Amino acid sequence: MNEIVHDLSIIFEKNKSSQKAIEMSAYMKNKFDFLGIKSSLRRELQKEAMSAISKVSLSEFISIVNELWEMPFREYQYCACEILERYANKLPASYITQFERLITSKSWWDSVDGIAPRSLGIFLKNYPFLIEENIKCWVESSNIWLKRSAILFQLKYKKFTNQTILFQIIKSLSKENEFFIRKAIGWALREYSKTNPKAVLKFVEFNDISILSKREALKIILEKE
């Protein structure tokens, strides 16, 4: 085990709570085991590890993130997501394969949403050619989490959102019956409506998207009327 991961595991173990672990696992429909460390405390506990990671090589960085992902408790995956977000600007283009592996491993909305609009979004700003080479392939994948990631990676782009790509991806996935895809479509459109409400309103009016997606997409626009 990597020394940074080892030290972090000792700190986490000392601060675990069996009662909170039960509650946190129940919230995630018992899909994952938890130590019972709330986000605010966890972020405080992992500060030293976050700082130490800034000094490691790329190969060790990849190893640390992978080790955290394989740990049995969900807090370690959350830590990995936050490490990726902090250092996303330093990752090489080849890391796209690692992103794909993480998104498709131990997948649920919490880990995917901890990556797609955060570290992946930052990363793809540096390597926009990967959108054509990889992200559009995710849209055609059978994996719902890759599809959700393709929808959400621009979530925080605001005025830098590539509207053509966003709408193209949503059109490609608009017939999907999966809840997490429909919800992501609505979320992405709602977020973009803060930047370009007219474009979102027009898109919703002239494209056949689910009732759920439409309701989510128009929330902010309708509140202002």
Q: Are 200 and 217 in contact (CB under 8 A)?
A: yes
Residues whose CB falls within 8 Å of the CB of residue 12, separated by 6 or more in sequence, listed in order: 35, 37, 42, 45, 73, 75, 76
Q: 96-225: which CATH architecture?
A: Alpha Horseshoe (1.25)
Q: What residue segments make up the domains of the chain, in order of their start?
A: 1-90, 96-225
Q: Which residues of the chain have pLDDT under 70?
A: 225
**Predicted pLDDT at 225:** 63
**Predicted pLDDT at 59:** 95
Q: Are 162 and 132 in contact (CB under 8 A)?
A: no
CATH 1.25.10.90 fits 1-90, yes or no: yes
Same fold, 1-90 and 96-225: yes
**Predicted pLDDT at 54:** 92
**Predicted pLDDT at 61:** 97
**What pTM, to 2 d.p., does this model score?**
0.95
**Predicted pLDDT at 191:** 98
Determine the Cα angle at 97 with ends 146 and 102, to 5°: 55
Q: Are 2 and 64 in contact (CB under 8 A)?
A: yes
**Predicted pLDDT at 223:** 84
DSSP state for residue 162 in the 8-state scheme: -
147-171 per-position pLDDT tens digit = 999 999 999 999 999 999 999 999 9
36-73 per-position pLDDT tens digit = 999 999 999 999 999 999 999 999 999 999 999 999 99
Q: What is the crossing angle of helices 179-193 and 197-206, to 10°?
A: 140
Residue 143 parent element (H or E) = none
Instruction: Say if residue 4 is exposed, middle or buried (CB neighbours under 10 Å; 0-12, 13-18, 19+).
Output: buried
